[in-house]
Structure 1
Amino acid sequence: MASGLVALLDDIAGLTRLAAASLDDVGAAASKAGVKAAGVVVDDTAVTPRYVTGLSPKRELPIIGRIALGSIRNKLLFLLPAALILSAVAPWALAPLLMLGGAFLCFEGAEKVLEAVGGHHAPVEEDVVTDPVALENQKVAGAIRTDFILSAEIMVIALRQVTELSIVEQAAALAVVAIAITAGVYGVVALIVKADDVGLYLAQRRSGVARRVGRGLVKGVPYLMSVLSVVGTAAMIWVGGGLLLHSAEEIGFGRPAHWVHHVAEGAGGGAIGWIVNAALSGVLGLIVGAIIAWVVHQVAKMRGH
């Protein structure tokens, strides 16, 4: 699933050729942005299906559609203009913002790891909503708020790859990236959410092959969600650590990045070197994320939450 999403983001390079004059430059920049945003995209895909849990199956696709429209609105109406203003007025702020985004990814990933090993904090009590319409609106609003944070990271990562283009080309490239990513993420989410329904339909057919495929889908979807969640968490930590390393290097603190690069090259380069680089970035991301999580929990305790 993760590789499919990354492949989808790589195809953004072809789509951006319709929107920018500098075809090669925009295509390469969008491709880099897609790969670098993989951790955010996979996590977004893994998180979204939980917003339809407990609701009527008939409302699943409409809810996903509402969230997708909110995501497009986040990216095009709010984040894209903000990114262009930032690029024109304070391009020096991109590296620090990427570091903040990387730290947030590390924190989110470390939180999930801590929860998985039993170190989660007590859940916050929330008001129970019994009205179906109110519950749906609440979940959609929560999903769109979460999407805003993830979309902000995606747009900053994408902007970092197109700063050499004109303002018009930047706007066109970012718009195409935003639309392609949103369509890809929520299209995959819709397929995941309805896969069990498709499985049930096939399981009731007369064909033995159809029944076997249907039963396989019904049994496989929970495992798919578990795998996607693990991959999304790992990708968040790895990408977050990588963003911290490379952004710190850009602002003059390059020793950690140089050390990681040296170790990766010493491991043999190529695929092995990439794996070593990703692993070390992940270790850094997990350490940083765990520290941030500890600080956040300590502050919460002091405030009585």
Structure 2
Amino acid sequence: MGNFQSRPSPKVLPQEWRNGPWGNKARDLQIVKDYQPFKEDVQLRFMLYGPAGAGKSSFINAVDSVLRGKITNRAAADALFHGTFTKKYREYKIPKVPGTQYPFVFNDIMGLEKDASTGVCVEDIKLAMKGHVKNGYKFNPISVISEDNQHYNRDPSLSDKVHVLVCVIPGNTAGLKDDNNPSQLLTEDFETKLREVRLAASDMGIPEIAILTKIDEACPEVGEDIQNVYKSKYLKNKPWETHIDLPLHLARQLPPTFSKSSASRMKERSMGHKAYKIQKGGPPGPPLPFCLQ
């Protein structure tokens, strides 16, 4: 009998189709710690939007946990997909050292729904991008925030405005158009909402990236070993499917190397996620890395 060598799963490629961010955790984390915006006293604001249950809040918790060095759960997230869980416009600043914070902010919003009369109102998203919505505003799916609302910001500063728009799409449903699938996302109403938000961001000069979440549910091989993320045949094709159906630019789609099943192992192994600064109308700029452990 010869030596037995295990064969890779037919769903996993022998080589990575994109170089994974493995082994550079300390370096990447230091880049984040040293990051400063081009203008002093201005916070770089990221706003996450996407379908309800996509994992927007969970992504914020993951970044918060890594940068603070402990497991956090400040952004409440629903473990089950039963419509949108986030109801208010929430701002999350991450403490750096006592008395200081990282110079970037994450904003979590109510999720987009498949039907026109449910989920966050598109006009509210547009106003939030312009800085007119204050932290704590409770979204109303059928009406837009009024100027006399206590959470309406009449005179937004540069820090109040959104600088990077992050579209969060669940990898286990993105690209599907199956009417018999209860998790079907890509209805005509949903695509219309998404298109309106993206066109508004483009008009405002706000760059956008897309993040595929729930990659372990989409590909069991990734759930078993996070380093299979860039070997997965399924995930290799997923950005192309999303580009065709939504569409989102291929160069701006990132499968994060953080999965639901890996949350309990965050203290035991190293992984990485890179969120890239994207120049409007051009190729990705220098990376702004986030390392998850």
- TM-score over 0.5 for the alignment? no
> Shorter-chain TM-score category?
under 0.3
Higher strand share: 2
Higher helix share: 1
Name which structure has the greater RCO, CA cutoff 8 Å, separation 6+. Answer: 1
Radius of gyration: which is bigger?
A: 1
User: What TM-score, normalized to structure 1?
Assistant: 0.24
